[in-house]
Structure 1
Amino acid sequence: MTLDLMLDADEEWDSSTDWARLAEAAARAAIAESAFPRLAALERPVELSVVLTTDAEVHALNAEWRGKDRPTNVLSFPQAEAHELAAADTPGPELMLGDIVLARETCAREAEEKSISLEHHAAHLMVHGTLHLLGYDHLEDDTAEDMEARETRALARMGIDNPYEVAA
């Protein structure tokens, strides 16, 4: 797979972290644990955009697109339809998975509350966001359990502890 990662990092995000490397590892781990692991073996390019920004920007996006007048840790904006993901191994143009947007202040606060590094928390949110782009959700108990298990396995691939055990 050729993953075309577009990373836009706000200056508030620590420049000493290789966010592009972390985002690519998170996306690859999430794809490997999804119903579409063959995306990783495609010759067809796959594109994913990750935006690391501020609470203010995420607040505005959350209000505009979800009708929620507050910031949140991560937003996902899928672009690929289920039928496109299912047929991803057929020749075609670049497969656009979508966009993931993380809010710096909220991510940092949550990481501190959980006593984990910002990098590990951001990786979890990037895995979570990628799974949303691949059609997963956590609206019902059974889908939430499935998504959580996939997140945990993906993070384990990255050497990151189960965030749900840390939080418990």
Structure 2
Amino acid sequence: MGSRPPGGDAAGLDIEVVLADPAWRSAVPRVEDAARRAAAAALAEAGAEGTVTVLLADDREVRRLNTEHRGKAKPTNVLSFPADHPGFLGDVALALGTVRREARAAGRPVLAHLSHLVAHGVLHLVGHDHLRAGEARRMEQAEARVMRRLALPNPWRGLA
């Protein structure tokens, strides 16, 4: 079902993209490649290697996952599910409708928002968090560096 055959590449990365909602393809050209590049850039930023799966789903599926795993009966933009298996870092799931709405509200291209959220989710898988102010600032800086690697705008520039 993924867009890439199993097995790692020379850098020790294996990033599988599962396209659960084909409407992602009309929102972002070559969406599987964009998600894979964002995940790889986040792993490079963190100096991490391993396997990551990115699920590109609709709001309904992410709402189900959010309800089941976090007790919140609503869709959200991105969910991260860290793994406890050596070599497998975990899964990241994104909700198309939510991502589109947020990108539109922020005046950003869906590609840029998708890339930022994939990076955000992958950074969670490798131990970043944003519960406290210092953690949040470090995570935002890492996300900004990932976006720079991807030649995309800093999602935090211009925010108070």
- Bin the TM-score by the shorter chain: 0.7 to 0.9
Alignment equivalent of 1:107, drawn from 87, 99, 111 = 99
TM-score, length-normalised on structure 1?
0.82
Code of the residue aligned with 1:29 in structure 2: it is A
Code of the residue aligned with 1:13 in structure 2: it is W
**Is contact 1:114–1:167 with CA below 8 Å preserved after alignment?**
no
1:142 aligns with 2:134: yes
Q: Percent identity?
A: 41
Structure 1 equivalent of residue 67 of structure 2: 63
Distance in 2, matches of 1:53 and 1:38, equals 25
Distance in 2, matches of 1:106 and 1:151, equals 20
The higher-RCO structure (CA 8 Å, 6+ apart) is 1
- 1:65-89 Cα deviation digits (max 9, x unpaired): 01111110000001147xx5xxxxx
Show structure 2 runs of 5+ residues with no match.
Answer: 1-10
TM-score, length-normalised on structure 2?
0.86
Shift of the alpha carbon at 1:166? Answer: 4.7
1:4 aligns with 2:14: yes
- Name the SS for the 1:121 alignment partner: helix
1:163 aligns with 2:155: yes
Structure 1 equivalent of residue 35 of structure 2: 23
Structure 1 equivalent of residue 112 of structure 2: 120
Structure exhibiting the larger radius of gyration computed from Cα positions = 1
- 1:15-63 Cα deviation digits (max 9, x unpaired): 56222221222122112222xx163xxxxxx211011011111111101
Show structure 1 runs of 5+ residues with no match.
Answer: 40-45, 85-94
**Is contact 2:17–2:36 with CA below 8 Å preserved after alignment?**
no
Structure 2 equivalent of residue 91 of structure 1: none
Distance in 2, matches of 1:79 and 1:112, equals 32
Code of the residue aligned with 2:23 in structure 1: it is E
